[in-house]
């Protein structure tokens, strides 16, 4: 199969790494890709979020399958454009991608599907939202639209609630509508399902670390690291999440004439009364994908192809034994104003039992320099979580660039095990 992979981050490098191992792959094109994907396939200068350009290129190159990494191309309608020219796409049409592109739409779907979630209200007036937030005191404020992983603010008191509403309201188009919801307590985990519009298969449970600082302190980021499997749900409980969350959501979308073919990502809070959905995403998580690709013990390509064509066989996916850990190495100033152009050194000294996925990186003057906030993810597997963490951090210690920072507690909560 000839595959076109859209995106340029660490998630896409990890997907390219996994797809390149498939015996069914004949050629991998990455648009626009990064220096990491260039070693696994061919990078092409193509705007991933320009649907007509992508469709024309895929048709011209006789691509068999397009795999979409980021959310922006999906929301823009790249899957729709590909369908128009008869090319299979792993990733939902724009109407399905609204489940990530609009928090209010996602909440409506959850309500219709009977999916357990936090109580919420939707506002378009900042003053009304502020009054409600102040009355609640403890609340979560979410921008309705896409905000690069930074459109969610958790407020624990009245002043923080007021400030959160004003901050989201100032986000422009993304914050014109905002969702205010009950603040849930518990472990937050990522449950992802490969979906073909009707059937699904659950990926191993993972846990992201969204705050920039250790102990979950500081501002939210796109994610500072992840590990899998997360020990907080048994195999039976994860299957129940599929039955209570994924299946009814796919059914509601199908009734609305929206075939959801791609990844349905449910961010879950494991509360005392059971798992509740915090958010839906319409694509693989980042940095969860980096560890999931290491943890998946079977060929990814036929799974994605079956989802894109509506022929997925629902079953338990094969997981590799042990655990995988990924540590994000970030640039100084991330998440607010990351420094760029710092030379990256030490990648050749990373031990062979670790894998580095590049993200905010570009090639310059025969080397690599930082080009974004989350620069790369250092991943390692081990026979257990402790060994995987040890290997990942040993590998991270080999890499250097000016201003580099990372969390040293990735996977620590998983070490404590399920409550």
Per-residue pLDDT reduced to its tens digit, 340-377: 999 999 999 999 999 999 999 999 999 999 999 999 99
Average pLDDT over residues 412-416: 92
Q: Show the tokens assigned to 217.
A: 């302190």
pLDDT at 419 exceeding the cut of 60: no
Specify the domain boundaries for CATH 3.40.50.20 within the chain.
2-91
Other beta carbons within 10 angstroms of residue 142's beta carbon come to 27
Candidate CATH numbers 3.90.600.10, 3.40.190.10, 3.40.190.290, 3.90.45.10; the one for domain 323-416: 3.90.600.10
CA atoms of 353 and 331, how far apart (whole Å)? 24
Q: Show the tokens assigned to 64.
A: 């068999």
Q: Taking phi first (over 0 means left), then psi (-120 to 50 degrees means alpha), and beta for anything else, what does residue 77 get? A: left
pLDDT tens digits along 23-32: 999 999 999 9
Provide the pairing of β-strand 2-7 with 139-143. unpaired
pLDDT at 69 exceeding the cut of 60: yes
**Residue-level pLDDT at 227:** 98
Which residues, 6+ apart, have CB-to-CB distance to 234 below 8 Å?
418
Residue pair 188/182 in contact by the 8 Å Cβ criterion: no
Average pLDDT over residues 206-219: 94
Specify the domain boundaries for CATH 3.90.600.10 within the chain.
323-416
Which pLDDT band, with edges at 50, 70 and 90, does 124 fall under?
very high
Sort 291 into a burial class: Cβ within 10 Å, 0-12 / 13-18 / 19+: buried
In this structure, of 80-94, 134-148, 255-269, 355-369, the range with the lowest mean pLDDT score is: 134-148
The pTM score is 0.95
pLDDT tens digits along 92-111: 999 999 999 999 999 999 99
Specify the domain boundaries for CATH 3.30.470.20 within the chain.
186-309
DSSP 148: T
**Residue-level pLDDT at 149:** 64
Average pLDDT over residues 55-79: 97
Which pLDDT band, with edges at 50, 70 and 90, does 418 fall under?
low
Q: In the CATH scheme, what is the code of domain 186-309?
A: 3.30.470.20
**Residue-level pLDDT at 220:** 84
Average pLDDT over residues 103-126: 95
Class of domain 2-91: alpha beta
Q: Percent of the chain having pLDDT more than 90?
A: 94
Upper half-sphere CA count for residue 268 (Cβ side, 13 Å): 31
Provide the pairing of β-strand 361-364 with 274-281. unpaired
């Amino acid at each position: 199969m000839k595959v076109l992979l859209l995106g340029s981050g660490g998630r896409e490098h990890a997907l390219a790494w996994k797809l390149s191992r498939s015996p069914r792959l004949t050629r991998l094109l990455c648009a626009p890709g990064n220096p990491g994907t260039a070693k696994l396939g061919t990078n092409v200068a193509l705007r991933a979020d320009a649907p007509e350009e992508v469709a024309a290129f895929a048709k011209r190159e006789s691509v068999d399958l397009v795999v979409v990494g980021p959310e922006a191309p999906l929301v823009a309608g790249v899957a729709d454009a590909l369908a128009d020219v008869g090319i299979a796409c792993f990733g939902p049409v724009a109407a399905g991608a609204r489940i990530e592109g609009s928090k209010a739409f996602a909440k409506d779907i959850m309500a219709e599907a009977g999916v357990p979630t936090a109580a919420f209200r939707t506002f378009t007036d900042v003053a009304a939202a502020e009054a409600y937030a102040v009355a609640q005191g403890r609340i979560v404020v979410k921008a309705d639209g896409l905000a690069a992983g930074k459109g969610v603010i958790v407020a624990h008191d009245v002043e923080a609630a007021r400030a959160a509403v004003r901050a989201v309201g100032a986000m422009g188009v993304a914050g014109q509508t905002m969702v205010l919801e009950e603040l849930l307590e518990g472990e937050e985990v990522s449950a992802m399902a490969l979906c073909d519009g009707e059937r699904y298969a659950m990926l191993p449970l993972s846990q992201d670390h969204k705050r920039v600082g250790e102990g979950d302190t500081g501002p939210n980021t796109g994610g500072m690291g992840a590990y899998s499997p997360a020990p907080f749900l048994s195999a039976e409980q994860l299957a129940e999440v599929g039955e209570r969350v994924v299946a009814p959501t796919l059914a509601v979308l199908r009734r609305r004439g929206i075939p959801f073919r791609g990844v349905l990502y449910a961010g879950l809070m494991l509360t005392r009364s059971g798992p509740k959905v915090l958010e839906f995403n319409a694509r693989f998580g980042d940095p969860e994908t980096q560890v999931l690709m290491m943890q998946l013990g079977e060929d990814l390509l036929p799974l994605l192809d079956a989802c894109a064509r509506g022929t997925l066989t629902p079953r338990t996916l094969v997981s590799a034994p042990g655990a995988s850990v990924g540590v994000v190495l970030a640039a100084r100033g991330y998440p607010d104003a990351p420094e760029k152009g710092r030379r990256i050194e030490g990648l050749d000294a990373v031990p062979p039992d670790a894998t580095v996925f590049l993200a905010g990186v570009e090639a310059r003057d025969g080397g690599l320099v930082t080009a974004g906030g989350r620069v790369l993810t250092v991943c390692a597997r081990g026979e257990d979580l402790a060994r995987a963490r040890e290997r990942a951090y040993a590998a991270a210690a080999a890499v250097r660039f000016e201003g580099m920072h990372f969390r040293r507690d990735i996977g620590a909560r998983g070490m404590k095990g399920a409550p």
